[in-house]
Amino acid sequence: MNAINDLRLLSKNISVLNPCYNKSNQNKCINCTLALFRQCRTVWHGGRDVTIEDLAAMSLDHPGRCYCTSNYSSASAEEFQATKAAERLLFDKNGMPRSADTCTVMSQVIADNDTRGPKNAIKRQNSILGNVADGIAEHFPDLGHVIKNSSNEFFTTRDKDPSFKGKQCLTNEKIKSIHSDISHTKKGYCDYVGMENERTKCFRQLNCIV
Ligand SMILES: [Zn+2]
C-alpha cells in the first residue's frame, strides 16, 4: 500500500512526459514462423494445400530463443497487452513500483481507434493511481487508423443503405476519390491537433468534401 502511495505522490510531480512507444502484440516470433513454414512445406511436398485444420494441429515449438510476447491472437492481443503495458510503466517486472527515473504516467495515448486497448490502458492506470490520475490520460487516435476507418465507413454505409448503390452513387472509384481528399485534409490538420481554429477549418473542409 505504501508503494501505491509513493506512486500517487510521484504522479502528482510529473510534469515532463517523454513519448514512449509500446509494441507488444506479437503472437509468433520469426523462429515460430519458420517452424510453421517447415511443416507447411512438408504438406505441400505431399502434393496438397495446407488447410485450417492442418495449421491448428501444427506445433510452434522450435530450438533457440522464442521472441513471442503474447499467446493471444494478433487481433485481440493489444487489448490485453495495453493493460499490461500500463502496469509495467508503473511497476517493474517484480511488481515493485518503479523509481522516479523510470516510472511513467501516460497522458497522451496515441493508438488505434478501432480497439478497446487504449481505453483499457487508461482504465488500468486510473485503477492503480486512483483519483490523482483523473483526467490526466487521453486517447488520441493515430492518423493511419483515422484514415483507414473513414475509408471503411464509406463501404459499410454503401452496404447498409441501398440508396448509395448504383453507377451514379458510391462506386469504388468515387469512394477512392472522396477518400483521397479526406486524407489530404486530415493529414493537414494532424500537426495542429488541439488547436481550435485549425480544427474548425478541418471540419469545414470535410463538410465541403462530403
Ligand atoms: Zn518463437
Predicted model pTM: 0.60
**pLDDT digit string, tens, across residues 23-82:** 544 567 788 888 988 999 999 999 988 888 888 888 888 998 888 766 777 667 778 888
Rounded CA separation 23/87 (Å): 15
How many angstroms separate the alpha carbon of residue 142 from the centre of ligand 1?
29
How many angstroms separate the alpha carbon of residue 34 from the centre of ligand 1?
9
Q: Torsion angle of alpha carbons 24, 27, 30, 36, nearest 10°?
A: -170
How many angstroms separate the alpha carbon of residue 19 from the centre of ligand 1?
29
How many angstroms separate the alpha carbon of residue 63 from the centre of ligand 1?
9
How many angstroms separate the alpha carbon of residue 55 from the centre of ligand 1?
16
What pLDDT score was predicted for residue 90? 93
What pLDDT score was predicted for residue 123? 94
- The residue among 160, 144, 146 whose CA lies nearest residue 170 is 160
How many angstroms separate the alpha carbon of residue 112 from the centre of ligand 1?
26
What pLDDT score was predicted for residue 125? 93
**pLDDT digit string, tens, across residues 100-135:** 888 888 888 888 887 888 899 999 999 999 988 888
What are the residues whose beta carbons fall under 8 Å from the beta carbon of 50, sequence distance 6 or more?
40, 43, 44
How many angstroms separate the alpha carbon of residue 26 from the centre of ligand 1?
10
How many angstroms separate the alpha carbon of residue 75 from the centre of ligand 1?
18
How many angstroms separate the alpha carbon of residue 131 from the centre of ligand 1?
40
Q: Which three cell numbers stand for residue 207?
A: 463538410
How many angstroms separate the alpha carbon of residue 32 from the centre of ligand 1?
4
Q: What is the CA radius of gyration of the chain?
A: 23
Q: Is the pLDDT of residue 4 over 70?
A: no
How many angstroms separate the alpha carbon of residue 1 from the centre of ligand 1?
37
DSSP label at residue 107: S
Q: What is the mean pLDDT of the chain?
A: 81
